[in-house]
Amino acid sequence: MEEFVGQSLTMRYRASDRDVFYGGGVVNGARGITLMGDLCERMMTRLYKNAGKCTKVESIRLYTPIHAGDYLEDICRVIEHKADQVKIQCRLFKVCAIPENPQYPSSIDMFEEPVLVTEGTFVYQKR
């Protein structure tokens, strides 16, 4: 039953002004968790041909705030597989951001090392 272990998916997303929840352009942390859930459902669709359902959230950790204009990369990986259930680890990284005082309106800062924003572990059940 180890056939799914190690499979991974990646999704990129740009946080926009529509995602802002707090003053100063800060995005609600739940937005990152929602993106993780979307990617987990895509993983379940790839594995089982249906979105499955989340039966357990083992852990969620929020490390760094997300701001409008940040470019995010969400990576999920199957870490355990039992019968019709999989445990999926997700990690959301900030890969680039808008600088505080941009020289040009289209300026952006690319990070040499992505910054970990949120990580979580979810258990999904096949439907």
Q: How far apart are CA 73 and CA 76, in angstroms?
A: 10
Note the CATH architecture for domain 2-125: Roll (3.10)
pLDDT of 1 over the 90 cut: no
User: Whole-model pTM?
Assistant: 0.91
**Which helix (H) or strand (E) element contains residue 35?**
helix 29-48
* Rounded mean pLDDT, 28-46: 96
Q: How far apart are CA 53 and CA 126, in angstroms?
A: 7
Proportion of the chain above pLDDT 90, given as a percent: 88
Closest CA to 44 of 100, 101, 86: 86
* Rounded mean pLDDT, 113-120: 98
Q: What is the pLDDT of residues 63-106, one digit of tens each?
A: 999 999 999 999 999 999 998 899 999 999 999 999 988 899 88
DSSP letter for 6, please.
T
Q: How far apart are CA 125 and CA 55, in angstroms?
A: 6
Q: How is the beta sheet containing 66-67 ordered, strand by strand?
A: 20-22, 26-27, 66-67
The string of DSSP codes covering 45-71 is HHHHSS--EEEEEEEEEE-S-EETT-E
pLDDT value of residue 2: 65
Q: Which two tokens stand for residue 75?
A: 């990576």
